A and B are shown apart, each in its own frame.
Chain A
Amino acid sequence: MIQQSSLLVLFIKYVARYYPRILRLTFQHLTISAIALALTLVVCVPLGIYITRKEKLAPYVIGLANVFQTIPSLALLGFLILIFGIGNDNAICALFMYAMLPVLQNTYTGIRSVPSHLVQAAKGMGMTDFQILLKVQLPIARPVLLAGVRVATVWIIGTATLASAIGGGGLGKLIFSGLASIRYEIILAGAIPATIIALLADQCLKFLQDYYSPRNRAKRMAKKAEKLGVDLSE
């Protein structure tokens, strides 16, 4: 009890004193995670789409992502030092490799699960391949795709704490220095913001997912039309 309450006091004191540093590291953490996530999306969504059209490649590409994902993250980071040296680039690259699988896999399965008669119908009505992708396949695959993105986001934010192990920045710095000096309040000062960021990001994505669900979108359109209807009839 005493220890716990004193830990709380220590924690508050630490935060009060070092909050500029905590904020700076949080910001750094966010930046690293955001870059890694952006990289993952930019590479894996198109790649996932591509392998729905080159079915033969799919098992290899997904298999490779699976391998990356299975390598223990610390080992992966260590290994990448050989290529990138020490620092944030290395960390971002490792995070990217680590988060590939859910995005790739869900893009692939999401698009493949679009019933083929819908694609045929879209084609039969005169959509180009690109229009079919944009207006039919991606919207229908969106919930599955976003679920993959959510998993990847949480993973990246959590794993980004390891970046400081190889000389990168982020909240991991606090955690590691707390561990090294056995000062729990410092560990908490790193772990709590990291958890909050992960939860917030997850909730944001969940909100997006709901907001753009067909049902809610239809409801909004109906409302808007009601308002417009008055305007139109005048």
Chain B
Amino acid sequence: MTQIVSPENESDLDKGMVIFQDVRKVYDDSIVAVENLNLIINKGELVSLIGPSGCGKTTTLKIVNRLEECTSGKILIGGMDIMSLDPVRLRRGIGYVVQEIALMPHMSVAENIGIVPRLHNWPRKKIMKRVDELLEMSGLEPAKYRYRLPDQLSGGQKQRIGVLRALAAEPEVILMDEPFGALDPISREVLQNELLSIQQKLHKTIIFVTHDMDEALKISDRVVIMRSGKIEQMGSPAEIQENPATEFVRNFIGEDRLSQISPEDSVSVLVEDPWGKAYPDQSASDVLSMMEDEDMESIQVVEKRANRWAGMAYLRDVKRISRTGGSVRDAARRDRKLYLEEATMRDAAEMLADKAYPIPVIDEQGEFLGVITEAGIARLTIGRLKRRVTGGASQ
């Protein structure tokens, strides 16, 4: 799944090539944000980083322009170890679109776009020309927009300016952190198309962070799916869609892509982490008080080691056992469960119709994977309906 980078590759590097070698980033000595990251991004390639919130996407970008320094490992740009470069010069050579857009509120559109060229001491005339050229390129009439302030722009225009600002000094490498984040689907689509046509002309090396699988699949040459700081899978959009390597990737694509759900589909997209878990050796009375505090009707009992499923305990059984001073193991029942490999949506729905308790999902080795709840099914359905509506609107 991950590529091993051999040093021989370094000799034929083009200027825009970005290489991550065993990169690891730990915040505050304890929060592992990025781990074991090995990735080669070729010159002119647009690579998306995608994954759930907090999986380390922004951190990965920030260690490229040294807003954060990696704890261990190496990053090479154009064959140069970034740690050997002056951070200020490095940053001036890399385009950066910030997650919060972050246009300077006291500067006009032209000044915002011209920030990096000015840091490079371009002559004034050249900067002005460049600004107009960029504005025209993204369909904003220079005469009208040059001297506007950011708060006189629409959300979509702000995000455009954010992208133009990153392009202004013609960097080879551009980092984009959810550049179209807070936009409605229609403007998003427009900006994605703009980016694609810009990229066809300019062939920059772009690392593009997004939450949105549709976006990633649409614009990228390669998609990197991240999970808790690690690469879960990478490949071309087609490869990822056809061969999701893990359950997680399948979920991730399944949730975001609007595939038809049929009763015979796997339940994998429905599996979620349960609210609380108990260990078999915990005393029933401890578990009882926790369940009462959290207002839980049932609880999953899972062994610490290897995450093995030991059963599911219902409130009344836990109560009974707690009176005899036993452990929660004695209250666990193992009759109601689904195997991930074979269970279908229909099975889950029937089981829930019978009893509304969460259904534990395990694999054939007996590892506990999560639960399926009524709420989860409802969310999936609502999510589908919503996408129908917005999908219809953008046509």
Q: Interface on A for B, CB 8 Å cutoff?
A: 115, 117-118, 120-128, 131, 135-136, 139-140, 142, 214-215, 218-219, 221-222, 225, 229
Residue of A nearest to B118 (CB): A135
Q: Mark B138-152, 1 if CB is under 8 A from A, else 0.
A: 000001001111000
Interface pair A214/B105, CB less than 8 Å apart: yes
Shortest distance from the beta carbon of A224 to any chain B beta carbon, whole Å: 9
Task: Please name all residues of chain A whose beta carbon is closer than 8 Å to the beta carbon of B148 when the two chains form the complex.
Answer: 218
What 8 A-B pairs are tightest by C-beta distance, nearest first?
Answer: A126-B92, A121-B102, A126-B91, A222-B147, A117-B100, A124-B96, A214-B106, A121-B98
Classify chain B: how many residues form its interface, as a range.
20 to 34
Q: Which B residues between 93 and 149 are near A, CB-CB below 8 angstroms?
A: 93, 96, 98-100, 102, 104-108, 115-116, 119, 143, 146-149
Q: Within the assembled complex, what's the spacing in Å between the Cα atoms of A198 and B149?
A: 34
A-B contact pairs, 29 of them (CB 8 A): A115-B102, A117-B98, A117-B100, A118-B104, A118-B105, A120-B67, A120-B98, A120-B102, A121-B96, A121-B98, A121-B100, A121-B104, A122-B115, A123-B91, A124-B91, A124-B96, A125-B91, A126-B88, A126-B92, A126-B116, A127-B115, A140-B104, A140-B106, A142-B106, A214-B105, A214-B108, A215-B149, A218-B147, A218-B149
Task: Give every chain A residue within 8 A of B96 (Cβ-Cβ).
Answer: 121, 124-125
In the bound complex, do residue B107 and residue A214 qualify as a contact, i.e. CB atoms below 8 Å apart? yes
Residues of B within 8 A of A229 (CB): 143
Chain A residues, CB < 8 A from B67: 120, 123-124
Are B146 and A222 in contact, with the CB atoms below 8 A?
A: yes
Considering only CB atoms, which chain B residue lies closest to A214 in the complex?
A: B106
Among B29-82, those with CB < 8 Å from A are 62, 65, 67
How far, in angstroms, from A175 to B47 measured CA to CA in the complex?
76
The distance in angstroms between the C-alpha atoms of A219 and B89, with both chains bound, is: 33
CA separation between A215 and B149, bound complex, in Å? Answer: 7
Q: Is the CB of A225 within 8 A of B147?
A: yes
Question: Is there an interface contact between B91 and A221, defined as CB atoms closer than 8 Å?
Answer: no
- Which of B102, B108, B146, B149 lies at the interface centre, i.e. has the most chain A CB atoms within 10 A of its CB? B102
Chain A residues with CB under 8 Å of B107's CB are 214
Give min CB distance, A115 to chain B, whole Å. Answer: 8
Q: How far is the CB of B89 from chain A (nearest CB, A)?
A: 7
B127 CB to nearest A CB, Å: 13
CB distance from B274 to the nearest CB of A (A): 35
Give the secondary structure class of B's interface: loop
What B residues does A122 contact at CB under 8 A?
A: 104, 115
Bound together, the chains give a CA A131 to CA B119 distance in angstroms of 9
B residues lining the A interface (CB < 8 Å): 62, 65, 67, 88-93, 96, 98-100, 102, 104-108, 115-116, 119, 143, 146-149, 165
Q: Hey, which chain B residues are within 8 Å of A131, CB to CB?
A: 119
- The smallest beta-carbon distance between A211 and chain B, in angstroms, is 14
State whether B91 touches A218 (Cβ < 8 A): no
Q: Which residues of B lie under 8 Å from residue A121 when comparing CB positions?
A: 96, 98, 100, 102, 104
| A139 nearest in chain B by CB position | B106
| Residues on B with beta carbons closer than 8 Å to the beta carbon of A214 | 105-108, 149
User: What residue of chain B has the Cβ atom nearest to residue A123's Cβ?
Assistant: B67
In the complex, A215→B107 CA distance in Å? 9
10 extra interchain contacts, Cβ-Cβ under 8 A, other than A121-B98, A126-B90? Answer: A118-B102, A123-B67, A125-B115, A125-B119, A126-B116, A136-B104, A140-B105, A214-B107, A218-B148, A225-B147
Chain B proximity of A116: nearest CB distance (Å) = 10
**Complex: how many Å from CA A229 to CA B165?**
23
Q: B144 — nearest CB in chain A belongs to which residue?
A: A222
| Docked complex Cα distance between A136 and B116 (Å) | 13
Chain B residues lying within 8 Å of A219, measured Cβ to Cβ, are 147
A136 contacts which chain B residues (CB < 8 A)? 104
Q: Which residue of A lies closest to B115 (CB)?
A: A125
* Residues of B close to A123: CB separation below 8 A: 67, 91
* Contact in complex: B146, A124 (CB < 8 Å): no
Chain B residue numbers with a CB within 8 Å of A118 are: 102, 104-105
CB distance from A122 to the nearest CB of B (A): 8
Decide if B88 touches A124 in the complex (CB within 8 Å).
Answer: no
Which residues of B lie under 8 Å from residue A124 when comparing CB positions?
62, 65, 67, 91, 96, 98
Cα A123 to Cα B66 with chains together (Å): 10
Min CB distance, B179 to chain A, in Å?
A: 13
Q: Bound state CA distance, A224 and B102, in angstroms?
A: 27
Q: Which residues of A lie under 8 Å from residue B99 when comparing CB positions? A: 117
A120-B67, A215-B149 are known contacts. Are A126 and B89 too (CB-CB below 8 A)?
yes
A87 to B149 Cα, complex, angstroms: 51
Q: Which of chain B's residues have a CB closer than 8 A to the CB of A120? A: 67, 98, 102
Complex-state Cα separation, A74 to B147, whole angstroms: 51
B62 cross-chain contacts in A, Cβ below 8 A: 124
The residues of A that contact B98 with a CB separation of less than 8 Å are 117, 120-121, 124
Known: A125-B115, A127-B119, A140-B105. Is A225-B146 also a contact (CB below 8 A)? Answer: yes
B residues in contact with A215, CB < 8 Å: 149
Q: How far is the CA of A126 from the CA of B148 in the complex (A)?
A: 24
Per a CB cutoff under 8 Å, which of B65, B88, B115 touches A128? Answer: B88
A115 to B102, CA, bound (A): 9
User: Of B100, B108, B116, which one neighbours A218 at CB under 8 angstroms?
Assistant: B108
Complexed CA–CA distance, A122 and B93 (Å): 14
Asked if A221 contacts B108 (CB within 8 A), the reply is yes
